[in-house]
Amino acid sequence: MLLSRPLCRSAAFVRPLRSISIKTLRRNASTEVAEFKGTKNADGKYTVTMIEGDGIGVEISAAVKDIYAAAKVPIIWEAVDVTPILKDGKTAIPDVAIDSVKRNLVALKGPLATPIGKGHVSLNLTLRRTFNLFANLRPCRSVVGYKTPYDNVDTVLIRENTEGEYSGIEHVVVDGVVQSIKLITRPACERVIRYAFQHARATGKPKVLVVHKATIMKMSDGLFLSTAKEIAKEYPEIELGAELLDNTCLKIVTDPEPYKPVVMVMPNLYGDILSDMCSGLIGGLGLTPSGNMGDEVSIFEAVHGSAPDIAGKGLANPTALLLSSVMMLRHMKLNDYADKIENAVLTTIASGPENITRDLKGTAGTKHFTEQIIRRL
């Protein structure tokens, strides 16, 4: 009985849902859903919101700006501070930052530190909710010049970004008993699954794979799976598959090759875990781009930590933020600039340890690595 009472009260907690030759590795965003609607300024340039972030965020953001200036990308950066404020007792983004992102419709974000077990709500989560960024797109491809136990990895994962276990609906039932609610809704399922199918179509992937645990969470994950089966009828040319989360984890670390022609789509928590695991196949989060897609606004980000231990020492690796910015440029249909910058980044990494940062087993600092990329533009 003690457990049933908070379940009744929990409705009050539910918020409204809102040896390989170097080649250019395309990390695209699907164009049918979350299409960029921004326009150029009078000077022929786009304004993009820049959220530098915490720790090494300032340094890697500076590297991106320098490379973009050298490549003559038609972008003006509008820097904003997202230090959290309290509005009506809830963690919120400052209005100036919100207005900037809404006006520009696209942002590039460095790493933001998240308190563990206390403090303000994750700013990353707050950004997703504020701008209704319903899908997290995480492509992972092997990078020439950084050897891992796996060769020719090429995975694409799309994670539902707004609900599931990350809905933030949890409370104490009695002392020593905590209840956390996994929220799954049909509209959110439809939105992210449709985006997965459209991304598969746009990037030439013949299959969408739903990763789930409907054997255990029969209603919540069952809804996600059944919704996928309905949406699949709209895309007869694309095969729909389904796989249990634990089975996917086992198979992908055994042999990632079968996942090349696949777009994986899954609920929030599974996507958070599996996307980082896929990053591990190619060398870690420092090589992994990411995009958070919404119907109006999209935010591209480095998903690694803020690394306060090396902040200010000139050791940070800007690759993840650079590759995320490449995704952003393709989203904005600035494909030539995207190709130029991506090729410069990848050829620099392949050029040898003297030109890459220490996390990639190199000897270079941020400044030298950035200069080498600019040389290769």
Write a three-state SS string for 168-199. Answer: CCEEEEECCEEEECCECCHHHHHHHHHHHHHH
Domain-located, residue 143: no
What residue type is assigned to position 123 of the chain? Answer: L
For the ranges 17-26, 202-211, 222-231, 233-242, the lowest mean pLDDT is seen at: 17-26
pLDDT value for 120: 54
Residues listed for the chain:
377
> What's the pTM value of the predicted model, to 2 decimals?
0.87
d(CA 196, CA 188): 12
Distances (CA, A) of 214 to 218, 231, 245, 273: 5, 18, 10, 17
* 282, 305, 326 - which closes a domain: 282
- Average per-residue pLDDT for the chain: 90
Q: What is the CATH number of the domain that holds 208?
A: 3.40.718.10
73: left (phi over 0), alpha (psi -120 to 50) or beta: beta
Q: What is the mean pLDDT of residues 266-273?
A: 97
pLDDT value for 215: 97
Domain-located, residue 12: no
Which domain covers residue 27, as residue numbers?
20-133+285-377
pLDDT value for 92: 82
Assess contact for 131 and 49: CB atoms under 8 A: no
pLDDT value for 159: 98
d(CA 304, CA 252): 21
Mark whether 67 and 181 lie in a shared domain. no
Specify the DSSP class assigned to residue 86.
E
